[in-house]
Amino acid sequence: MTSSRIELGSEAHENHREAGEILAQVREEAADRVEVGASHLDVAEYAEDRIRELGGEPAFPVNISIDEEAAHATPSADDDSTFGEEMINLDIGVHVDGWLADTAITVDLSGTADLAEAPEEALEAAIDLVEPGVETGDLGGTIEEVIEGYGFNPVVNLSGHGLGHWDQHTEPSIPNRAVSQSTTLEVGDVVAIEPFATDGSGKVTEGTDEEIFALEREGSVRDRGAREALEQITEEFRTLPFAARWLDTARPNMALRRLKTQGLVHGYPVLKEDDGRLVSQKEHTVIVTEDGCEVTTR
């Protein structure tokens, strides 16, 4: 696992900043396109194409989570789903030369404005605390307090995380509730703080659908389609997550099945709230500075 700590003022710092600037713009543009009747696939592809236009690369497929879905949902190549009167979370990532920014926003079309607001306020309260020496458990306690103040529960088995070089989830973990064992943040730490709120019990479990994958290890395969896919994965996406619809091979799902069977890639099943209740989310990427933090995705 790579470190999420960088030197302030370094090229890595500039790349994180650039990724964050691109992402802040794309997040707002993509959120504006979410409306009843709009296509999931159109919104995802718009955001991914726009990231490339602005000089970045998608750090992972655009996650579009609906109602009880919390993470890892992205449209398939032939997805014809459209938005209804639902709670919609967009989770989007950008990298510049492998240096990452990660952000999320809830677009509420369900008429549950309080639930959409809770993680947003929790995130701002946590960001206000970030400085060298703060404990990640204290950030979690603040997130929990704000969300419970709205009458909802934080999703306790999802957390924020460090952002390493070509590594979307690294230490430290940023919990969404108070915990006794935590990490002390230091200058140069790059972290994604990511509160999730729900009107359910506050836990998620894996569903069966998988559209997002990542390289597990390099290896050799005999099947031509699987070999082509593996070459694209290792060269283009490296260790970052990718969508089945991003693969250029003729039969991507067949290629992925073969690569999974050989243990060369792994999938990310869609995560859903246990009680089937609504989930909202808000996320920013922050870099810890000498006197506080810099929010790269504002």
Per-residue pLDDT tens digits for 71-88: 999 999 999 999 999 999
The confidence score (pLDDT) of residue 1 equals 62
The confidence score (pLDDT) of residue 47 equals 98
> What percentage of residues in the chain have a pLDDT greater than 70?
100
The Cβ of residue 14 has, within 10 Å, a number of other Cβ atoms equal to: 13
Does residue 151 register a pLDDT over 90? yes
End-to-end CA distance of the chain: 27
Does residue 2 register a pLDDT over 80? no
For the chain, count helices (H), then strands (E). Answer: 6, 15
Does residue 298 register a pLDDT over 70? yes
Per-residue pLDDT tens digits for 129-146: 999 999 999 999 999 999
Residue 103 DSSP code: E
Band of residue 113 on the pLDDT scale cut at 50, 70, 90: very high
The confidence score (pLDDT) of residue 230 equals 98
Backbone angles phi, psi at 42, to 5 degrees: -60, -45
Does residue 252 register a pLDDT over 80? yes
Does residue 27 register a pLDDT over 70? yes
CB 95 within 8 A of CB 56: yes
Helix (H) or strand (E) holding 174: strand 167-174
- Quote the CA–CA distance of 286 and 56 in Å, as a whole number: 18
The confidence score (pLDDT) of residue 12 equals 98
The Cβ of residue 275 has, within 10 Å, a number of other Cβ atoms equal to: 13
The confidence score (pLDDT) of residue 3 equals 82
Triad 106, 298, 11: Cα angle to 5° = 130
Closest by CA to 128, choosing from 297, 295, 298, 296, is 295
The confidence score (pLDDT) of residue 134 equals 98
**Edge-to-edge strands of the sheet including 160-164?**
167-174, 160-164, 190-193, 284-289, 292-295
- Quote the CA–CA distance of 245 and 212 in Å, as a whole number: 9
DSSP assignment of 206-269 equals EEEEEEEEEE------SSHHHHHHHHHIIIIITTS-EEGGG--SS-HHHHHHHHHHTTSEEEEE
CB 277 within 8 A of CB 199: yes
Cα dihedral across residues 80, 25, 161, 232: positive or negative: positive
**Mean of per-residue pLDDT scores for the chain:** 97
- Quote the CA–CA distance of 121 and 241 in Å, as a whole number: 29
Residues with active-site annotation: 91, 102, 161, 169, 194, 283
Per-residue pLDDT tens digits for 190-231: 999 999 999 999 999 999 999 999 999 999 999 999 999 999
Per-residue pLDDT tens digits for 253-282: 999 999 999 999 999 999 999 999 999 999
